[in-house]
Amino acid sequence: MASWNRLSRPAFNVLSCSLRAGQAEAGSVKCLSTTPARCDAQLMDGKKVAKEIRSEVKGEVGKYVGAGKRAPKMAVVLVGDDGASATYVKAKTKACKEVGILDETIRRPSSITQTELLDLLKDLNARPDVDGILCQLPVPEGMNERAVCDIIDPSKDVDGFSSANMGLFAIGQKSFIPATPAGVMELLRRYNVETFGKVCTIAGRSKNVGFPLANLLHSDGRHTPGAGDATVLHCHRYTEARDLEACCRMSDIIIVATGVVGLIRGDMIKEGATVIDIGLTRLVGDDGKAKIVGDVQFDEAVKVAGLITPVPGGVGPMTVAMLCKNTLEAYQARADTH
């Protein structure tokens, strides 16, 4: 059996291509290429769509504040000194400020006990001025991540990671959807990608990305708002390489979230398919320069796909924008906003 982590990795120049000048609007054909030849793939510009969503959220927040209501507020708890987590939190708080959502970042050392962290989250649950709460993951080793996620009031769980929200979501009831899957679905909608009756391969089964995406895409739209009604083929680390390839080649939509650099090659993609790359890996080349790459061999895929997300600049900005949207919805559900 060939598992993903034993597949050959691509050379470092997976993403040596760059954006051409003049790529502007979602819905217009955009081209990425390492040669002068023009490619056919349309770039799914997550930065632009995320900006549109933030503008929409800002407009809604402005209506409440203009009517004399308090502004929404999101509290972020950051434990330890993980650099990546600090970067994510900074991006989230910056987006909040842009749309008019108040933010409060609470930092605690990695020496904090689980009991102390749970007590802190309980206090945030009880605060009437806080509408959304997120505890940046991962938590320090030795803590029970599930206990941390589940202590957050489901009505303030804007990350959508609590068992309560995941359970409601799984049975098609109103809940907070994790921001990355919500961002992917929003990209598909805004680029008019048909999902009804289409075949979709999802590579990756994490509880916060792959699993909820599979649920969203296969669910019955008659009962679940925003559901995809697609035929979903769900692959994971124990899917044999030949089966992953077969699934991808028959798929209208391919979504990858594995952290395996270059897992999806161009010859695995059906011509004209939509390719969503959620992977995000930092590589350092022989010249010492770092680049962010995804799970798709972009220089190959862009010549075959009909629509494709870049890395970075595709799904990442959407995740932050949808978190703002979730916070607005949490705020709107509270009685003192009306």
CB 274 within 8 A of CB 254: yes
CB 110 within 8 A of CB 81: yes
Q: Which of 311, 78, 327, 35 is nearest to 179 (CA)?
A: 327
Q: What are phi and psi of 220, to 5 degrees?
A: -80, 115
Is 129 a residue of the active site? no
Give me the residue label for tokens 């009517």: 67
The catalytically annotated residue of 30, 92, 198, 270 is: 92
DSSP 281-332: EEEE-TTS-EEEE-SB-HHHHTTT-SEE--SSSSHHHHHHHHHHHHHHHHHH
The catalytically annotated residue of 45, 157, 159, 295 is: 159
Q: What is the dihedral sign for C-alpha 145, 150, 153, 156?
A: positive
Report the distance separating Cα 118 and Cα 143, nearest Å.
Answer: 10
Neighbours of 44 (CB within 10 A): 29
Asked if residue 154 has a cis previous peptide bond (ω within 30° of 0), the answer is: no
Neighbours of 246 (CB within 10 A): 16
The catalytically annotated residue of 136, 150, 297, 325 is: 136
Report the distance separating Cα 118 and Cα 147, nearest Å.
Answer: 8
Is 153 a residue of the active site? no
Report the distance separating Cα 234 and Cα 217, nearest Å.
Answer: 11
Neighbours of 49 (CB within 10 A): 21
Beta strands 290-293 and 274-277 are unpaired
Is 136 a residue of the active site? yes
Amino acid letter at 297?
Q
Residues catalogued as catalytic: 92, 136, 159
